[in-house]
Amino acid sequence: MLLLQNAQIVDETGQLKKQDILISNGKITAIAHVIEVTSEMEVIDVASKLVAPGFIDVHVHLREPGFEYKETVKTGTLAAAKGGFTTIAPMPNVDPVPDSQEHLAHLEAIITKDACIKVVPIASITVDEQGDTLVPMEQLAKRVIGFSDDGVGIQDAGTMYQAMLAAKAVNKPIIAHTEDDSLKNRGFVHEGVYAKSKGWRGIPSICESSQIARDLMLAQASGCHYHVCHISAKESVQLIREAQAKGIQATAEVTPHHLVLIDEDVIDSQGKMNPPLRSSADRDALIGGINDGTIAMIATDHAPHSDEEKARGIELAPFGIVGLETAFPLLYTQLVKTNQTSLSNLIALMTKNPANIFNMSDRGELAVGKQADITIIDLEKKARVDSNTFVSLGKNTPFNGMELQGWPVCTIVDGHIVYQEKE
């Protein structure tokens, strides 16, 4: 048994209160103001640090199999543990794509062998993510949390509609990368005044929002749970808000970087991601979305690349930044400390909400009977981001050198410590 003494937890009112938490057989077995210590308990005095449910990230790229020079299941899950994450969902744009029972089994074997936290796979929507032939969803459904062709948008409406019908039949969500290729214009940053001043080709917001509009109509017709990846545009937020008001089963995620940065913060390839960082008005709409519940969760879109790839210049470098090791302190510093959202809302966006939406009922809350997936955070700790200290193989971040506050110091999965900050 493990006893966490003097924990600060966020209660139902959003206030911090001191509690002891007892863990036994991988589950939380008691939470009380004081729990009496017995001889069989291992005791950790968390010294009034914040104790939260383990973070859940439904959108990461572990790159394995196929691209192990960028990241592996081992390094990616170690990075996640360091960032306070206890459950992550890797996207299927690897090689081979998990589009069949055989390919999914290959990925599962790597996860079983090398993951230090919980990893719940996502299968592709179409074979090899080519956008035409659907995967056998009924064969894969029980082993994945949903279906996504992340990295590319499904261009054909008929294919997407058939995918939604098939996903609905097996009670799984379509997790959509929304991008109309005909509107992308070979762009690599947000289409706006800043891009024009730099002579950079831009990607317009309608590249994202027009496909969301199409898909929301298809979701309404099919009855499928439709989940939008890494939402970035104010028009997209409004479309989802209106769809939810109509009773369409639509959910969305937003990344830490889209909540914190805008297009004018892009200096070089370290700020290049897809969807791109957009305007301050878009960022304000995203923050509004997480505060009114339109956007129910935060997902990092952790996208590691090699130094050589990111050194190719902004036009030729691949899209994406890493995010697992900086997500919480970044959002705590930039949003909570500036009163743009509450601590309780931030925690819900990273724990309870994704657990509820993706049917992970055994985790996401500090409650008796739940799995003991727990993150301990030092809200007073300040440190500068240093990509050289990242556990991830990817060092590609625009936040290097930024001082952040509120760092995870210990991560527990099923009652076992998987990360602990060195003294």
Catalytic residues: 301
Strand 374-384 and strand 403-413: pairing?
antiparallel
Q: Which residues on neighbouring strands pair with residue 410, listed in sequence order?
A: 376, 420
In this structure, the number of other CB atoms found within 10 A of the CB of residue 126 comes to: 21
The string of DSSP codes covering 258-271 is: HHH--GGG--SGGG
Q: Which two tokens stand for residue 239?
A: 């479309």
Count CB neighbours of 15 within 10 A. 11
Whole-number Cα distances in Å, 411 to 47, 203, 258, 276, 314: 15, 38, 26, 31, 35
Amino acid code (one letter) for 140:
L
DSSP β-bridge partners for residue 28: 23
What is the C-alpha to C-alpha distance for residues 124 and 140, in angstroms, rounded to an integer? 10
Cα 104 to Cα 192: distance, rounded to the nearest angstrom: 41
Annotate 318-382 with DSSP letters as a single string: PS----TTTHHHHHIIIIITTTSS-HHHHHHHHTHHHHHHTT-TTSSS--TTSB--EEEEEEEEE
